[in-house]
Amino acid sequence: MRVGIAHLPLHYGKAPRWLFECMRKLAREITIFMVEEFGPEEMLKKLSDPFWFQAFGCVLGFDWHSSGVTTTVCGALKEGLRGLERDIGLFVAGGKGRTSRKTPSEIGSFGELISVDPSKLIYASRMAAKVDSAGLQDGFQLYHHCFVFTKRGSWAVIQQGMNEVTRYARRYHWLSDELGSFVCEPHLAICCDERKRPLNMVAEESEETRKVATELSCERPDRLLLTLKKLQRLDMPGSHPIGTHDLHPDSLRRIFLKTYERQPGSFEKLLGMEGVGPKTIRALALISDLVYGTAPSFRDPVKYSFAHGGKDGYPYPVDRELYDKSIDILRKAVSHAKVGQREKMEAIKRLSHPTWTPASPMAGKLGREGLKGV
């Protein structure tokens, strides 16, 4: 299921090389620590939580509200775990731009490494991208896709799209747990403070439109194109959420011929077909709505969600000395735990469940006692 969305200002540029190197090291140590304590599946759940992911980026020292936190954190995680994947049971594929298109081959390579059939994982990667680019058309063009999975076949997706007009980016989080369908309400929570009217073909109320769109995809192309040409002569209201101004029947002939020849039996198979993109889905939704009366959903399932950070100096500049200490503490804690000495791991765990309050006069003393030995 898709478990959340973060809405972030679109920032360009790169993280300083020294900071990315620090992020790579700390991301590796935090991941190793969490996998050691809770297992790789729990790490997937954390990455699929937009709030936790944003906080992760903050701990790593990146901008608290920049779109770059997505690509940089995923890149740091991928580089940090390089060569350790088999040992910890966590694999990271994909990335930004052209790297995202290498996701299937990278999944396949990992599959050979651990003797697992990668076909289902590759399919999940493709469908998550298709749903967020063609199934839910919200004005954000995907440019980053990161696929993280375990030896057991559980997976998470962190992908991001940009809207250059509004200069905002939107991050989509997925998790394989309890996935019922890729094309009917795959979202558990979607977060943003601005509601729009996208074409939402994966909403529950779009069920009839999905059925009709699938049936239409099996019709002769000439009939579909003739219907579209007739629709373009209709006097539509300026606020109509689908619109016909960007639908060109002649350019759709080739893809309609392909769907007609393959006769997809379900909307998921239609959406997953190579070449079927946003324009094809919009065209079929438009015909379904105006000719057959099966109105698709325009519900945008979104609210705001992110935390805070530090590359740009907020709430304070990155403290490199403290950063190195954090990496060293985690590395030593895991190292000691592997030989049966878990005192350092337990001390770090206790810090997340304090028995004192900051207002207490004993807070400083107890805080120091809690850290003793770490």
Would you state the pLDDT for residue 31? 94
Would you state the pLDDT for residue 367? 38
Crossing angle for the helix pair 17-38 and 343-351, to the nearest 10 degrees: 100
CA dist., res. 216 & res. 199, Å (int): 18
Would you state the pLDDT for residue 119? 95
Q: Please, is 46 exposed, middle or buried when counting C-beta atoms within 10 Å of its C-beta (0-12, 13-18, 19+)?
A: middle
CA dist., res. 237 & res. 81, Å (int): 53
Would you state the pLDDT for residue 232? 55
Would you state the pLDDT for residue 302? 47
CA dist., res. 178 & res. 182, Å (int): 11
Would you state the pLDDT for residue 67? 76
Would you state the pLDDT for residue 366? 36
Map tokens 């190195």 to a residue.
Answer: 324
Secondary structure (3-state) at 94? strand
Going from the first residue of the chain to its last (374 residues), give the mean pLDDT of each consecutive group of 10, the final group possibly shorter: 67 79 92 92 92 84 74 95 95 95 96 88 94 87 95 92 86 85 68 62 86 90 80 49 55 82 89 85 75 70 38 61 74 79 69 47 38 40
Would you state the pLDDT for residue 27? 93
Could you tell me whether strands 199-200 and 136-137 are parallel, antiparallel, or unpaired per DSSP bridges? Answer: antiparallel
Would you state the pLDDT for residue 76? 95
Are 11 and 68 within 8 A, CB to CB? yes
Q: Please, is 310 exposed, middle or buried when counting C-beta atoms within 10 Å of its C-beta (0-12, 13-18, 19+)?
A: buried
Q: Is the pTM of this model over 0.85?
A: no
Would you state the pLDDT for residue 64? 56
**Helical ranges in the chain per DSSP H:** 17-38, 40-47, 50-59, 68-80, 85-88, 103-114, 119-130, 207-216, 221-232, 249-262, 267-272, 278-292, 320-338, 343-351, 363-371
